[in-house]
Each structure stands twice: as structure tokens, then as C-alpha cells.
Structure 1
Amino acid sequence: MAASALVGIIAVLGRSADWFAGTGLWSNLLPFAGMVLAIGTANAVLLHLWLGMRARLKLKGMVLPAILAVFVAIGAGWFVAQEEFGRDLRKLRTLVGGMQEAERNTIAHQVFAAYRRSDLIQMQRIIERAQIYLPTIHEAAAAFAVDPEVMVGIAATESSFYPRDSKDGGRGLFQITAPPKSAVKVVKAHLKTDTLDMLNQRHNTFVAAATLRDYLAQMNGDLFLGLLAYNIGPANGGLRSIMTQYGARDFVTIQPYLKNLPRDYPIRVLTAALAYRLWHREGRLPRYEEGNNAMHIQSVGVPGLDQGFSPVNTLAKDKAT
């Protein structure tokens, strides 16, 4: 019953955050505060009624309160599965999350917009080519506690799942150029080998996962900055040096100082990761602008951003098929 009450509170608070959005004292802040007070009062009344009802139900049968609670829980579970509840939850997260949640939402909508502009036929071909590499990607992601969907996005962006040597020195599936020495060392230990061959796609994938983990740790778990650092690499001190030079502290303040390619790189990676998630779950890539697909895709969420900016401790949730 307590969990069901929490579901209701989240839904009402989420909708209240939408109804009373704004900074006006009388038109926004006080009505929202009043709604919070009303929710607390309503829950106290409902709790009192429930306790009285439970006592009367016990007189008619000991199991009746439990049966009623089960039905309420089933109803709450059904409601949680609806897209409307997902929207309410996102609105509440925006309200409570403050600047960090606002940044996450900004990145997410950049990804949704990029997905809308994507050539979905070409994207599906890339995902189909990825199939033979998925077991290795999931294995490496689990070994270094990074998001496997984000890893798929990186490989799609770097090589389109055509492993090769490129003119700029990139090698293999993840176009490895100059990985951190710490990443190389830990991969050698994990794979129990003294040498790594970047044309060996298992070696290449494990080095990419270890490199991503290092950059995420360097950027305090910020996925956007971690991907930027992965793309920029260690040249001239890497992203951390650039941020220090310009006094930037997050993706909002660093974007204006970057050229188009590195600035767009995280969005391209996460767009490919989103496409992979949709294809993996639904077997298709729905067009964003058709019907209610926009709201549906938003409810599916962007890989790596589902739990904020810290996928460092997130292990693979889905096994490759």
C-alpha cells in the first residue's frame, strides 16, 4: 500500500510541476506549495480510512485486507507501466534534479532531434552489421562496468561496424588511436596477454571499454564529457586541460569552445545507441515524427542518461541475442 501511495504522489507532483511551472509567487510557487500540502493531508486521511477499513475487513475475513492490497498494488503496477506516468516522473525529476537534470534533458532532446534527422535505413544496416560483435561488446562492457548500449553507439560512430585502419591512425572496430596507458595495462591483465593487437576485434573492444571507463572516471561520471574526452584523446592534455584553460565546468560551458566534430560526437554516439536500443527491444526503428512515436521514444529513454550522468557502475542489463 505504501508503494502504491508513492506512485500516486509521484504522479500528482509530476503533473503539479507541469501545471504550476514558472517563477511567479502567486501564480506558480504558492499553488505548488498548496498542492504539496494537499497531497500530505489527503494521504493522512486515506491512511486513517485504510486503517479503519482494514480493521472492519478483518472481522469478515483475515485475508480480505491482503486481497484488497494486492488489487491496489496491481492497479499501481499497471499505472506505472503507462507512458503518462513516465512523463510525470520525468517532470518531477526535472523539478527535483535542478541544473543537473536540466542538462540531462537538454542532451536527451538533442539526441531525439538527431535521431529524427537520421537516415533510419542506413542506421538499421549499421545495427545489423553489429550483430556478430555484440557478444564481445557485452563481455567487455561488463568487465569494465560501462554501458553496452553506449559502447554500441561508439562503435557505430567510429567505424559503422566496418573494422579498418583509417588515415588519422584509428584502428579496428573502435578506431583506437592512443589509448591511456592505464587502460592498456588493465586490458592486458584481464586478457592475460603481453601484447595487444588492435586489429584483433576482441582486444580492440576491451581497450575501448577500458578507455571509456578511464575517461568517465576522469570526468566524474559525466557521460557527455566522458564521450568528449574519448573522442579528443590525450593530445595537448586532453579535455581536462581544455576545460581548465577556458574555465569550463560542464557540457554547457565547454561546447562553445569546441569545433563541430568533437562537439557533436557525444550526440552522434547516443543517437546510435538509442537506435540500437529501439531496434533491440522492438525490432524496428520507428520514425520520430509519426503518430505518437515522439512521446514513445522519449519514454524509452537515451542509453547512459536513464540514471543521470553516471553509467560507471552500470553493468549490462540485456544480454546479446
Structure 2
Amino acid sequence: MPRSTQQLPAAKLPPTARKKSSRPAAAPKKKSKKKSRGKKKPAISLRRNVLLLSVEIGGLAIVGIAASIALLGYSANRFAGTRIFSSLLPFAGGIFGFIVLTALLLLGWKRLRTRLQGWSPHLPATIAFGLALAAALLTIQDRFTQTFGHYRTLVGGRAEAGRVTLAHQVFAAYRRLEPPALEKLIDRAQPYHPAIEEAARTYAIDVDLLQGLAATESSYLPRQSHDGGQGLFQITQIPAAARDRVDRLFAPELRVPDNPRYNAHLGAATLRHYLTEMKDDLFLGLLAYNIGPANGGLRFIMKQYGATDFVTIQPYLQRLPRDYPIRVLSYSLAFRIHQREGRLLAYEEGGNALRIQGIGIPGIGQGVSP
């Protein structure tokens, strides 16, 4: 038989050939689902860490801001004056010491938070949030309100000092009001409150301020006066723009001064007109409301004498009611106190002075330092 047709024995096959022929082809490996699921965990962990860090930083920032305001306000009152050794240097030294102390506390917190994170990753943020909550609760206390008033005076400079002076004139005027007569006036005002509240909301004016204006003008006894004043707000000469704005909201048959709602809108629109004219200076706006267009209006009077604010215009108002804004705001303060406390507070009794100053004068704000 020819050699080309002979088969080699199986034992003589090459080893590699036997291995390849005996092993089946390996199936392609499938990707494990566990690995794809595990990739989401780092993203969740990152968001959690960012949230915890944000809470921690925010809490510490709130504590630092509250402490800074308290220190500056206290120092401004404690070391008030112009002497170098008794006022200026102690104030600057206190601020420098506070900066050093803050830096040391932050370094201490950095070391402490490492230990806290070893116990629980949520612990630093939780403690910082608790400290911020405690600081927020302290800010609503009367003592902090008083300190914040000193801080406003320090930062506000001349403008804030003038505001504080005028605010205490309002407090003094409120102190002189007779409580029995004031209670009767507030009772008479109740039927007109819905109309005044609507007008205040329409023209973006504090409702207590508008109620104080009506109390000053008519004592809530609507009437026609000999000088031409009509209704709750004793409207006389109304700026054309203010009247047009009001008339667009009322039908012709309702445009009568005896209509309390229409009269309240006229009063609020007129006050808003003068506040805009006086660049939202409340005292000047009220004074302009009272003067009206007489003598060319308040703006002309101020320009004539070179006055720039309520304080500088007062000496030139010998024949005009320069105390008019003070009276309006003292009544406004009475309405606000009655609305918040359910009764009037005697200014000189107990701690009522600081409490009333914390309530704040409508249109001026809170935190007036004594």
C-alpha cells in the first residue's frame, strides 16, 4: 500500500494538536451586574458629603456672623467716643483679639472634626447645625436687639444716627399719648380696617403706617373740614397722577369722598406719590403729604433753603407742622403694638421700652438702640 495513504497512529499526534481538539471553545464572559450596580455608590456618597459639608460650613458661618455683630455692637457702645486710649485703641484691640480668637477656634474645630468623623460622618454637620440654631434663638432676644441697634449705628454712620434720633422722638411722642383716648381711637378704626388694608396692599405701604396717617388726619371721625379736607384722610388737593391711578380702579358712582374705600385709596396713592418724590424718605414723604402743593411744595422749600433731609429742613418750618411726621408715626406705632400684643404697652413700665423698640416703628424698622 502506498505510504501517502497510511494514517499515523493516534499516539504519535503532536501534544498541542491533542489539546486543541479535546477542549471545547470557551463561551464569552458576561459582564457582572454587580459591578454595574456598584458604580452608583460613589456618586451618592459624593452628594451626601457635599451636603454635610455645606450644612457644616453654613452653620459655622451663621455663628460667626452673629458673634461678629454682637461684638461690634457691644464694642461700639462700650467704647463710644473719640479719645485714643479710652475709646479708639480698646475698640481696635477688641476687634484684633476677636480675629485671633476666631482663627484659633477654626484650627481647633479642624482637629476636632477629624475625631468626630471617626465616630460618625454626620456628627460635625449636626453639631454645626445645633450651634447655628442656638445663635438664631439668641438673635430674637431683647439684649441682642439692643446690640444690633448699636451695630447699625456703627455701620450706618451719620444717616443711621439721624434715624435713631428721629425714632426716639417717635417713642417720646408715643409715651405722651393718653391710653384711654388711644384705646377709643383704635376701636373707632376697626370698621375702616378692611378698606385701609386693601389700599395699603395696592400701593405697597405699611398698613400700620396708613392707619396712623388716618388717625392723625381725622381721628377716625370722617368729615368735611373748613379747609377743604374730606373723609378719613382729609384729602384736599390730590396730585393728578395719584387721582388718575385711583380712578382707574373705581366706577364713577363710587368716586365720592364719603366712600371710605375710595378715600383710603386716595390717601394711600397720595402718600405713595410723595414718598416717590422724596426718594422713599419716610419723614419727608409724610411732611410733603401734609404740606401738599402749598408754597410750591416741600421739594421747592428744600431747594430754596438748601436742605437735604428732615433734620436740616426743620429749622425753616416755623409756620409749617414740622412735628407732623412724628405724630403720624407715634399713632402708627400704637396700632402696631396693639396688633402684635393685643393691648397697648406703657412705655415707661418695666422693660417695655426695649420691647417696644424691638417691635419697631412702621416704615423705619427694628433694633433702635437706646
TM-score for both structures, normalised by structure 1: 0.92
Deviation at 1:211, TM superposition (A): 0.8
Give the secondary-structure state (helix, strand or coil) at the position aligned to 1:262.
coil
1:244 equivalent among 303, 310, 321? 303
Match of 1:285, SS state, is coil
Is 1:164 the counterpart of 2:223 in the alignment?
yes
Mapping for residues 250-289 of structure 1, pairs under 5 Å: 250-259=309-318, 262-289=321-348
Paired with 1:94 and 1:190, the residues of 2 have a C-alpha distance of 42
Kept in 1: contact 2:357–2:366 (CA 8 A): no
Aligned residue for 1:73?
132
Q: CA distance change for structure 1 residues 189 and 29 in 2, over 3 Å: closer, same or farther?
A: same
Larger Rg: 2
Shift in CA distance, 149/199, structure 1 to aligned 2, threshold 3 Å:
same
Confirm or deny: 8 A CA contact 1:188 1:194 kept in the other structure: no
Distance in 2 (alpha carbons) for counterparts of 1:124 and 1:32 = 46
Would you say 1:3 and 2:62 are equivalent positions? yes
Corresponding residue for residue 312 of structure 1: none
- In structure 2, relative to structure 1, the CA distance for the partners of 1:248 and 1:146 (3 Å cut) is same
Q: Tell me, what secondary structure is at the counterpart of 2:112?
A: helix
User: Which residue of 203, 207, 212 corresponds with 1:144?
Assistant: 203
Residue 84 of structure 1: which of 143, 147, 171 is its match? 143
Question: Structure 1 regions of 5+ residues with no counterpart?
Answer: 309-321
Task: Give the match for residue 32 of structure 1.
Answer: 91
Shift of 1:307: 7.1
Root-mean-square deviation (CA), in Å?
Answer: 1.7
Give 1:144 deviation, angstroms. Answer: 1.0
Partner of 1:155: 214
- 1:39-96 Cα offsets, whole Å, 9 max, x none, are 2222222222223222221110122122212321221122111100001100010111
Contact map agreement 2:215 2:331 (CA 8 A) in 1: yes
Q: Is residue 2:277 matched to residue 1:218?
A: yes
Are the counterparts in 2 of residues 198 and 204 from structure 1 also a CA contact under 8 Å? yes
What residue number does 1:317 align with? none
In the alignment, structure 2 segments of 5+ residues that lack a partner are 1-59
- For residues 186-212 of structure 1, give each alpha carbon's deviation from its aligned partner in whole angstroms, at most 9, with x where no partner exists: 111234658721111111111111111
The C-alpha deviation readout for 1:103-159, integer Å capped at 9, x for no partner, is 110111001111111101111111121112222212111211122111011001001
Mapped pair 1:101 → 2:160: yes
**What secondary structure does 1:190 align onto?**
coil
- Matched residue, 2:120: 61
CA gap of 1:260–1:123, structure 2 versus 1, over 3 A, is farther
Higher relative contact order (CA 8 A, sep 6+): 1
SS in 1 for 2:249: helix
Once the two structures are aligned, what percentage of the paired residues are identical? 53
Q: Name whichever of 248-257 and 87-96 sits farther off.
A: 248-257
Query: 8 Å contact 2:214–2:232 — kept in the other structure?
Result: yes
Corresponding residue for residue 268 of structure 2: 209
Deviation at 1:261, TM superposition (A): 5.8
Contact 2:359–2:366 (Cα < 8 Å) also in 1: no
Distance 1:253 1:5, change over 3 A: same
- TM-score (norm. length: structure 2): 0.80
Separation in 2 of the partners of 1:55 and 1:128?
62
Which amino acid letter does the alignment assign opposite residue 19 of structure 1?
Answer: R
